[in-house]
Amino acid sequence: MNSQRAARWAAFVLIAALAVLAALAIKGGATALITSGAVLVPAPDTENSAAAHQTGSSETAVLAGGCFWGVQGVFQHVEGVSRAVSGYAGGDEKSARYNLVTSGNTGHAEAVRIEFDPRRISYGRILQIYFSVAHNPTELNRQGPDWGPQYRSTIFAQSAEQASQAQAYIAQLQRTKVFDQPIATTIEQGKPFYAAEAYHQDYLVRHPNQPYIIQHDQPKIENLKRLFPEQYRAAPVLVGNAS
């Protein structure tokens, strides 16, 4: 964990502890604090019609929603996903390095490239998992203790069709008001993806006892298992040194 993230983690622990104490005081010992952050959202209205046209053996989605460790970890446990790589999207190749992206000035977001078999899982289901358990889509440039545009909630559409489907789905979720706040997720199309450094790959799997992972990312895996049992796979698909 770098110094910036360590400082943010320490601040978050302090704030969380104060919030718990306040909740206990207000509720007389019965806390109403929700820590999982999971909201099971409805599937896209277009899910059935889209599934009928899935003929290829491989598609790619690129999603950003806070620190890429947790987003990658979630989709590594999803059936039908063959590879999930942590990386950067939104900026140029020269600035696609962690020490630069953390400045928040590169245009990049920490993102995950997800390769999946559309015959086993649809793009719509990928988005449903993304909105339900991978992150909080009502926060644009912040997730947990991490803040800045490099942690933004963004769908990097890989085609006009993906962009259209994502726009329709966001509009659907806004209408149904499944979240207390408006969805802040943006859609960016035509932005290349660059794989992150090797030490960021499979991070959740390799560091299960790190406090940041325990607090922010392991609950996402548990929520995936609980809310999407048919899509959950116990053994994650690992990438090793991604390229």
Residue 205 has pLDDT above 80, yes or no: yes
Which helix (DSSP H) or strand (DSSP E) does residue 126 occupy? helix 123-129
DSSP-derived letter for residue 78 is B
Global pTM reads: 0.83
Find the range with the poorest average confidence among 38-52, 67-81, 96-110: 38-52
Q: Which of the following is catalytic: 64, 67, 227, 239?
A: 67
Percent of the chain exceeding pLDDT 70 equals: 80
Active site (annotated) includes residue 67: yes
Which helix (DSSP H) or strand (DSSP E) does residue 186 occupy? strand 186-189
The residues pairing with 216 across neighbouring beta strands, listed in sequence order, are none
Phi, psi of 83 (to 5 degrees): -165, 135
Report the distance separating Cα 100 and Cα 107, nearest Å. Answer: 10
Report residue 118 as tokens: 């559309």
Domain residue extents for the chain? 1-33, 38-227
171-to-14, 67, 178 alpha-carbon distances in Å:
36, 25, 12
- Per-residue pLDDT of 80-96, as tens digits, reads 999 999 999 999 999 99
| Burial class of residue 56 (count of CB atoms within 10 Å of its CB; 0-12, 13-18, 19+) | exposed
CATH number listed for the domain at residues 38-227? 3.30.1060.10
pLDDT at 168: 98
Ramachandran bin of 56, using left for φ above 0, alpha for ψ from -120 to 50, beta for the remaining angles: beta
56 confidence band (pLDDT: 50, 70, 90)? confident
Strands (E), 16-175: 59-65, 81-89, 109-116, 142-143, 146-147, 153-157
Show Cβ contacts of residue 12 under 8 Å, excluding neighbours closer than 6 positions: 144, 145, 215
Find the range with the poorest average confidence among 13-17, 84-88, 101-105, 141-145: 13-17
pLDDT at 55: 64
Show Cβ contacts of residue 157 under 8 Å, excluding neighbours closer than 6 positions: 163, 166, 187, 188, 189
